[in-house]
Structure 1
Amino acid sequence: MLALSDEELRGAGLSGNKAKALRDLASKIVSGELRLKGIARHEDAEVIRLLSTVWGIGEWTAQMFLIFKLGRLDIMPSGDLGVQNGLRILDGLDGRPSPDTLLLRAEVWRPLRSVAAWYL
């Protein structure tokens, strides 16, 4: 990844921002600054903190990693527009709920909030 040119990455279908994020991720892994081996042993908040040190990776991306790669069952991606729209439909709301409102509403789904998010 680090040896590939920008043109090669664009040729593979990556946008400039995605290429920048992947380069930063690869650089941090190669340097040892980010160690993915054993990351599953960390608490959710720590995984989010570690992954968020990579350019272009924020809370939502880290939450998706927790749900789909690490199989964490109690993650509620409250900033996800699809999840917000799902709750809007479920509860018959006029507009999308705020992330804070969604988190409060999702408390009833603990410890399976990830599963609820899939269905929303």
Structure 2
Amino acid sequence: MPRHARGFDVAEAADWLARRDRRLAGWMRRLGPLEADPRWHRSFDPVDALARAILFQQLSGKAAATIVGRVEVAIGSQRLHADTLGRCDDATLRACGVSGNKLAALRDLSLRASQGGIPSARRMAWMDDQAIIEALVPVRGIGRWTVEMLLIFRLGRPDVLPVDDLGIRKGVQRVDGQTTPPTARALVERGARWAPYRSWASLYLWRVADAAGEGGPTPRSS
């Protein structure tokens, strides 16, 4: 299994997409060039990223950030991990604003991490996208979308297409001038031409949706 680099040549990706999809190319010119995500080159702890993803779920960014800040104070660390989360009992975390379901998810994540069930960032470099998804979705509260956001925004994988993301589907709807968003199956077929740079296409499609007031992703692994 080859080692996967974090990040890719975004100019090459943009050129590929522009040549492969005339309709998307028009929007790319309209929106202008995108920059590579600086997080691709920063070290990160997958357990911490997943814990934050859990805490951010179904909340506004401001409300979630407040809860995360309280948790960091309670555990005495800015690193959310099995050992640090284990410093607080359930009642203390609940007092920080952590819901019962999220608390159960954090405990499950912590248990799996302590048992070596969560691959490190170093280990992920040798895993393909699907292997990472399969390793992480068994964690309570972690779905495929959350892992796809980690793949795109933290690992810089070039060919991820979150077909269940409404923002991307709305973006495709506008690019293609359709009255309804494509189904997930139709999006798989529509997006085949973007490979091997479907992540970069996704970033543009979120921005197309933003331009239409439809909203884009809210990555929870920052």
**TM-score normalised per structure 2:** 0.50
1:49: how far off? 0.1
1:80 aligns with 2:171: no
Are positions 1:90 and 2:154 aligned together? Answer: no
Partner of 1:29: 113
Paired with 2:99 and 2:168, the residues of 1 have a C-alpha distance of 26
**Could you list the per-position Cα deviations for residues 40-94 of structure 1 after superposition, in whole angstroms to 9, with x for gaps in the alignment?**
2101111000001211111111111111111101000000111111111111111
What is the Cα deviation at residue 28 of structure 1? 0.6
| Secondary structure of 2:159 counterpart | coil
C-alpha distance in 1 between matches for 2:95 and 2:170: 34
| RMSD (Å), alpha carbons | 1.6
- Unmatched runs of 5 consecutive residues or more in structure 2: 1-84, 206-222
**Correspondence for 1:58:** 143
Unaligned runs of 5+ in 1: none
Q: Which has the larger radius of gyration?
A: 2
Q: Which moved more, 1:36-45 or 1:5-14?
A: 5-14
| Residues 1:17 and 2:88 are matched in the alignment | no
Residues in 2 aligned to 1:82 and 1:46: alpha-carbon distance in whole angstroms: 25
Q: Could you say if the C-alpha distance between residues 82 and 34 of structure 1 is closer, same or farther in structure 2, counting changes exceeding 3 Å?
A: same
**Structure 2 Cα separation of the partners of residues 88 and 5 of structure 1:** 47
Q: Alpha-carbon deviation of 1:20? A: 2.3
Give the letter for the 2:138 counterpart: T
Query: For residues 13 and 84 of structure 1, what CA distance do their matches in structure 2 show?
Result: 33
Contact preservation (8 Å) 1:2, 1:27: no
- Cα distance between partner residues in 2 of 1:59 and 1:33: 17
- The one of 86, 89, 98 aligned to 1:2: 86
1:13: how far off? 4.2
Could you say which structure has the greater relative contact order, defined with CA pairs below 8 angstroms and 6 or more residues apart? 2
TM-score by length of structure 1 reads 0.88
Deviations 1:9-44 (A, max 9, x none): 344443333332222112111112333241221011
Tell me the distance in 1 between the aligned counterparts of 2:100 and 2:180. 33
Equivalent residue number for residue 47 of structure 1? 132
